[in-house]
Amino acid sequence: MYQKLWDVMRRVVVQKKFIHDQVSQGRIHVKDSQNSLSTTNLGTDKKDVNELNANESYDSLKEELADAVTPLWRIPYHEQLKIKNQRNFEIMVKLTKRLRPNSNSSNIICQLKETLPSPVTLHYRNKNEFHIRYDSDGRAVVGLCVGKASKNTLRCITAEKLLNTHPFHSNVAQHLQDYIQHQSKWKICEHFQRGGNWRGLTIRSNYKNEQMAIVTIHPQNLTGEEIHSEMERMKDYLLACPLSNQLVSIYYQACLHTRCTAEQSPFILLHGQSHIYERIGEYDFRISPESFFQVNTQGAQLLYETVARQLAPERLSTVVDLCCGTGTQGLMVARHCRGVIGIELSRSAVEDARFNAAHNQIHNAEFFAGRVEKLFRPLLEQLDAAPDIAVIVNPSRGGVDDRVIELLRSNQRVRHVVYISCQADGLAMNNFVSLCHRPTRKMNSEPFVLRKAIPVDMFPHTDHCELVLSFRR
């Protein structure tokens, strides 16, 4: 299915070899705006050749990063959608074979729609998580990593050329990089046991282009006063840079682990607002440092509208939103049903969800913090009088625990489940199979039927998209 992609990549490799050969002979070929080649005879000046080689090396690194992060970036967007259509068809074929292992039919198990295109394809990410590591020359870089540490090829490359990354995000990353290289005495923390402090930078932004920066460090043996002093100097440096008026919030987190929750290590506000606000349609949502929010805001509106149409709750329906994040999806259907109940692991996200409900004047929604597999059963017991329960499931790539699927199957008032999957051919497929397979001794309840699958492209230039699956019984 990636044949066109590989063909383009091969042509690029051949083109690069041709350019290199011509450079070595003193004739330099440069790509113009139409991707054609123009030729300039610059003689054999070593300085010119060295500068070109340096620029080519720089461009080569950028292309290597782009190929790793946005592997479809060389392909026109309408062709990317065709690739994703084919990939989603193959996912449905795989699911069909698991549910109908003895069938000889070539039909897939449900209606599969064509991929809905993202409303925006460039610089669409409202969140970037940058690494702070060394490049191949040993310089501190705030960017993204390619290669493998096990093979000693891991290196960090700045991300300003990526098609999915907002220039404002790259701008803050560049200023922090300048500070680390020229102002800070701290070293980079590549391995916890080997010392160093600088670890990462997360940038979040909203429809107003307001930005929140979260710097992650390892405290090592530093005192609280030493950490705070360095963070204050960093803050002052960032605020003195151009476009700093858009940097409305600066946090830092001193994290001892690979990743820390706010409960394990609090986010310390250095400057400005404690939150930023994002807008989807007529709703405003509060964003905290660790809140889950879809990275493509305009794509998120398309996704949530698609889910709402598939869920189609009735006035007396109770909607249960599992893995609800900051409550976005549930709140957008709350005015069309009896009420919404959300469950989310992150306590700060639940606080945001409750705030978002009140802020948007929605009074029939409640949210609880905890593990879905532990809270879902007592929640269903409390809903014993609800005539109809519609469920939204929006988990991480690994899907939900088997106990959640068993509860969905066993409760006859749950007649409709809409499942949002960002990796439908991974572990989440086990959830789909368990929802639909025939009754067994272990799970003898009525199965669901997968009626429709709708891909929504939330990640242009990558090979990922969200898949909305509508299960009914």
Q: Is 90 annotated as a binding residue?
A: no
The two tokens of residue 205 are 């932004």
Amino acid residing at 272? G
* Residue 295 backbone phi and psi in degrees, to 5: -75, -15
Q: Which of 282, 299, 284, 287 is nearest to 205 (CA)?
A: 287
Q: Residue 337 contacts by C-beta under 8 Å, 6 or more apart in sequence?
A: 313, 314, 315, 316, 317, 318, 319, 364, 390
Residues catalogued as catalytic: 422
In contact, 350 and 365? CB cutoff 8 Å: no
Alpha helices in 70-183 (DSSP H): 77-99, 167-182
What's the rounded Cα separation, in Å, for the pair 150 and 160? 27
Residue whose entry in the numeric block shows the structure tokens 């990636």: 2
Q: Is 41 annotated as a binding residue?
A: no
What's the rounded Cα separation, in Å, for the pair 351 and 369? 9
In contact, 392 and 320? CB cutoff 8 Å: yes
The two tokens of residue 358 are 């009140």
In contact, 115 and 186? CB cutoff 8 Å: no
Q: Residue 205 contacts by C-beta under 8 Å, 6 or more apart in sequence?
A: 126, 127, 166, 168, 169, 211, 212, 276
Q: Is 197 annotated as a binding residue?
A: no
What's the rounded Cα separation, in Å, for the pair 79 and 90? 17
What does the angle CA 295 – CA 154 – CA 222 come to, to the nearest 5 degrees?
Answer: 80
Please give the span between the terminal C-alpha atoms of the chain, in angstroms, as a whole number.
34
Q: Residue 409 contacts by C-beta under 8 Å, 6 or more apart in sequence?
A: 434, 435, 443, 445, 446, 447, 448
Q: Which helix (H) or strand (E) holds 328?
A: helix 328-333
DSSP 267: P
Cα–Cα distances (Å) from 140 to 132, 154, 159, 160, 430, in that order, read 7, 13, 14, 16, 42
**Binding site, annotated residues:** 294, 344, 394
**Binding site, annotated residues for S-adenosyl-L-methionine:** 294, 344, 394
